[in-house]
Amino acid sequence: MSQTTTRRNFLKTTGAAAVALTALNHTRAHGANDRIRIGMIGCGSRGCDAHMAGVHPHDKAQNVEFVAVCDPWRLAREKAAGLCKDWYGIEAKQFTSYRDLLEYKDIDAVMIASPDLVHTTHLEAAARAKKDVYVEKPLAMDFNALKSACDAVKENNVVAQVGTQLRSMGSMTGCKELFKTGLLGKVGRIEQCRNGHRPYWYAYVKEAKEEDVDWKEFLADRPMRPFNSVQFTGWYGYRDFTDGPVPGLGSHYLDLVHYITGAQFPTSAVCLGGTYTWKDENNFTCPDHVQAMWTYPEGFMVSYSTNFGNGSGNSFKIFGDQAVMDLQDWSNPFVTADGVGQPDGRVKEKTPVKEVKMPDHMLDWLQCLRTRKTPNASIDAGYQHAVASLMAVRAFDTGKRHIYDHEKREIREG
């Protein structure tokens, strides 16, 4: 046998051994009979009422429990710890900073439901601490931070599920399967209008006392300013902490566009908007009206708009030259031949989309913690919707069209 062949076989053998060792380590950490211990970062309504409440129906069957909670607001921490006491009869560890939670040796995985400005910070820190992770959307407000966090997930072989849970609905997977058949014909436009009589951030505003909040921890890398209860509880309305409706609501839509059509990245984006209706003493800086449009290399245009001055006109449709798919009711999508000029006869009447049975989004993540398989909303899927969102945000801020270069991993004017 030649020296070259021997060396090649040696490299193959050692590479396989390394992969096997990694898998063995994960198996030891999350064996079939071992309890998986979860830490909760961000204990607001999303953390307690969606993440923790979403895991709880599966915690006994999947042998998992929350053992630590983290939030800069004492009241939120105590609420989350109270759930742990009620569900498991334990005194969960309480932390103000995510850094301390990640140093706690008795956790295997974390769920991240913190404000948008720190999603990438918490995601990257969790990955580098080798904790499996579930992270809320939108993934990022900064493109470089997005790339760094996603790279950290892959480099450390952690299981990461992104909080775009609509793709785990059987109805949406049914839409994906139907789209593959070509029944819609040539798709030229996908459109969502997601409206309301007022911006969603008003619903979160409540009283918070400065002495109960680690204000510096909440601000992260944002400039220090006097404590402001409205900014703290209603952060969804301020550009310091989030980028508004396109990433906040539109990321779900963009993720579904990618999931259903198989598209990954837009080639260009434009976006306009502003505050036209809700001008008051709160001085919210996120736009209450916005319109974003993307072009995709697959040959279609994608449109998203929000009107927070009037709640009528909501829609979600995929327009083909042979049929239109209506997804406005996420649980009951259907196809019709509405607007078709020269129908081929395959769609004759309103036809429901057949559901494809799927595991619930939280259950999918919990199962993947043990199998080490890639969850349904992978880190790659999260990166894709985050890129599209960031393109639109940059277009909004500059008034200029932005493009994405996938090879260079670069967003720029163009």
Question: What residue segments make up the domains of the chain, in order of their start?
Answer: 3-166, 167-357+379-413
Residue 32: the pLDDT is: 57
Q: How far apart are CA 266 and CA 392, in angstroms?
A: 10
Q: Is the pLDDT assigned to residue 271 strictly greater than 60?
A: yes
Contact 235, 215 (CB under 8 A): no
Q: How confident is the model at residue 250 (pLDDT cuts 50, 70, 90)?
A: very high
Q: Is the pLDDT assigned to residue 363 strictly greater than 80?
A: yes
Query: Which CATH superfamily is 3-166 part of?
Result: NAD(P)-binding Rossmann-like Domain (3.40.50.720)
Residue 30: the pLDDT is: 60
Instruction: Give the pairing of strands 132-135 and 109-112.
Output: parallel
DSSP-assigned letter for residue 296: E
Q: Is the pLDDT assigned to residue 293 strictly greater than 60?
A: yes
Fold of domain 167-357+379-413? Dihydrodipicolinate Reductase; domain 2 (3.30.360)
Instruction: Kindly report the backbone phi and psi dihedral angles of residue 192, in degrees, each rounded to the nearest multiple of 5, phi listed first.
Output: -130, 135
> What is the C-alpha end-to-end distance of the chain, expressed in Å?
55
Q: Is the pLDDT assigned to residue 13 strictly greater than 50?
A: no
Q: How far apart are CA 249 and CA 26, in angstroms?
A: 34
Q: How far apart are CA 216 and CA 240, in angstroms?
A: 14
Q: Is the pLDDT assigned to residue 332 strictly greater than 80?
A: yes
Residue 372: the pLDDT is: 97
Q: Is the pLDDT assigned to residue 63 strictly greater than 60?
A: yes
Distances (CA, A) of 183 to 176, 264, 266, 343, 356: 11, 21, 23, 11, 17
The single-letter code of the amino acid at 252 is H
* Mean residue pLDDT across the chain: 93
Q: How far apart are CA 411 and CA 291, in angstroms?
A: 19
Q: Is the pLDDT assigned to residue 28 strictly greater than 90?
A: no
Residue 33: the pLDDT is: 65
Residues 39-54 pLDDT 10s: 999 999 999 999 999 9
Contact 255, 137 (CB under 8 A): yes
Q: How confident is the model at residue 182 (pLDDT cuts 50, 70, 90)?
A: very high
Average pLDDT value for residue range 333-357: 96
Q: Is the pLDDT assigned to residue 19 strictly greater than 80?
A: no
* DSSP codes joined into one string, 142-155: SHHHHHHHHHHHHH
Compute the chain's Rg from CA coordinates. Answer: 23
Instruction: Give the pairing of strands 315-320 and 187-193.
Output: antiparallel
* DSSP codes joined into one string, 149-191: HHHHHHHTT--EEES-GGGGSHHHHHHHHHHHTTTT-SEEEEE
Q: How far apart are CA 256 and CA 299, in angstroms?
A: 17
Identical fold, 3-166 and 167-357+379-413: no
Q: How far apart are CA 205 and CA 59, in angstroms?
A: 31
Q: How confident is the model at residue 6 (pLDDT cuts 50, 70, 90)?
A: very low
Cα dihedral 224, 230, 232, 234 sign:
negative
Q: Is the pLDDT assigned to residue 310 strictly greater than 50?
A: yes
Distances (CA, A) of 190 to 81, 171, 247, 313, 406: 43, 18, 17, 16, 22
Distances (CA, A) of 69 to 105, 114, 251, 385: 14, 12, 26, 28
Q: Is the pLDDT assigned to residue 23 strictly greater than 90?
A: no
Residue 27: the pLDDT is: 39
Residues 75-134 pLDDT 10s: 999 999 999 999 999 999 999 999 999 999 999 999 999 999 999 999 999 999 999 999
Residue 31: the pLDDT is: 59
Q: Is the pLDDT assigned to residue 8 strictly greater than 70?
A: no
Residue 21: the pLDDT is: 40
Q: What is the pTM of this model?
A: 0.92
